[in-house]
Amino acid sequence: MPMKMDLGNWQQAGNASARHGKALAIEARGLVKRFDGFTAVDGVDLTVPEGAIYGILGPNGAGKTTTLRMLLGIIDPDAGYRRILGAERPHDVAHATGYLPEERGLYPAMKCYEAIAFVGALRGLPLREGQRRGRELMEEHGLGAVVDRPIRHLSRGMAQQVQLLGTLVHKPRLVIFDEPFSGLDAINQGRLERMIRALAAEGTTVIFSTHVIAHAERMCDEVAIIAGGKVPFAGPVDVARDMIRPQVRLETRASDGPWRAAFPADARREGAMWHFSLPESGAEPLLRALIEGDAGILSLSIERGGLHEAFVAIAGEAAAKALSADDKDEGVRA
């Protein structure tokens, strides 16, 4: 069933589109989903511009998969609305979307090119055309030697690549990956990153969920941070990072002096180094105080905050610890 929305929601969506300066691949407002009285997603808003690489970042259980499934129409929200590639009904644009679920699954007896064609057929691609494209895609991505091999004879990494190619075989305008890097070794992660960048360069919108901050920081134009079914931040990665004041690392010849008055309250000394947030007045007054106070600057660096620090500030320590635990678990499984 298409979700209803009022004129105020349409106005908000229009304003979001204007801010991005391009059409939106996804507009979602106030998405809510409950399961047996438990609220898995609680009022999620998302606006994803066309051609972007967009990350949904959060620990396992935060609501990432449920949100993606609502966007795709696999499940319907209990409240809110979503608009995908201009359509209120996700199934109306299923032929233009690709989806790689977190739980991978291919028929083990199928040959690789047949499996790719089958996934494409589910999105409306004629089977014979899918088989032709399947062979071509496997050759292009260095899998030509296993084109006719049954899925059951592939390594886990190769099977994931085949399913990924099946997600792309019908040339979708919007691709949604749920934890696509999960279980991949470093080489295959690098290949996937290059593929995602190539898709975006061709104008395809790519959305992927992840619990690994490094992937989101390295790959994404924008991110939505999700924790406890809510999205406390959604926007450009740089905006998230700028929410954290730059950090100063300073080593001085003198151990004390009037220049200490220029330090903020969070200044702490570890060995020979001072660590503190850059004062709101900026670097120039700090440098002036150090020089005029004869501190004797031996080394000074000002480092911009990373996405991890921003995540802690936005989502809280508990969510950050859960995210780190998920990352360690993934490393053990890989």
Ranges of residues in the chain whose predicted pLDDT is under 70:
1-21, 325-334
Q: How big is the CA angle at 13 (ends 7 and 16), to the nearest 5 degrees? A: 145
Name the pairing type of β-strands 38-49 and 24-35.
Answer: antiparallel
pLDDT, position 21: 64
Query: Residue 121: which of 103, 95, 102 has the closest Cα?
Result: 95
Query: Residue 52: which of 234, 189, 190 has the closest Cα?
Result: 234
Q: Which residues contact 329 (CB under 8 A, 6 or more apart)?
A: none
Residue 291: half-sphere exposure toward Cβ, Cα within 13 Å = 6
Q: What is the pLDDT of residues 158-177, one digit of tens each?
A: 888 899 999 999 999 999 99
Residue 32: half-sphere exposure toward Cβ, Cα within 13 Å = 10
Q: Which domains, from first to last, does the chain contain?
A: 7-230 (3.40.50.300), 247-303 (no CATH)
pLDDT, position 88: 92
Q: How far is CA 26 from CA 23, 29, 63, 157, in A?
A: 9, 10, 17, 30
Tokens of 322: 């859960």
pLDDT, position 330: 57
Place of tokens 């908000």: 12
Rounded to the nearest angstrom, the gap between the alpha carbon of residue 74 and the centroid of all alpha carbons in its chain is 20
Alpha-carbon span 214 to 308, nearest angstrom = 8
Q: How big is the CA angle at 119 (ends 212 and 214), to the nearest 5 degrees? A: 10
Alpha-carbon span 29 to 79, nearest angstrom = 9
**pTM for the full model?**
0.80
pLDDT, position 327: 62
- φ and ψ at 9, to 5 degrees? -65, -40
Q: What is the pLDDT of residues 278-311, one digit of tens each?
A: 998 889 999 999 999 999 999 999 988 888 888 8
Check residue 126 and report its DSSP letter: -
pLDDT, position 151: 93
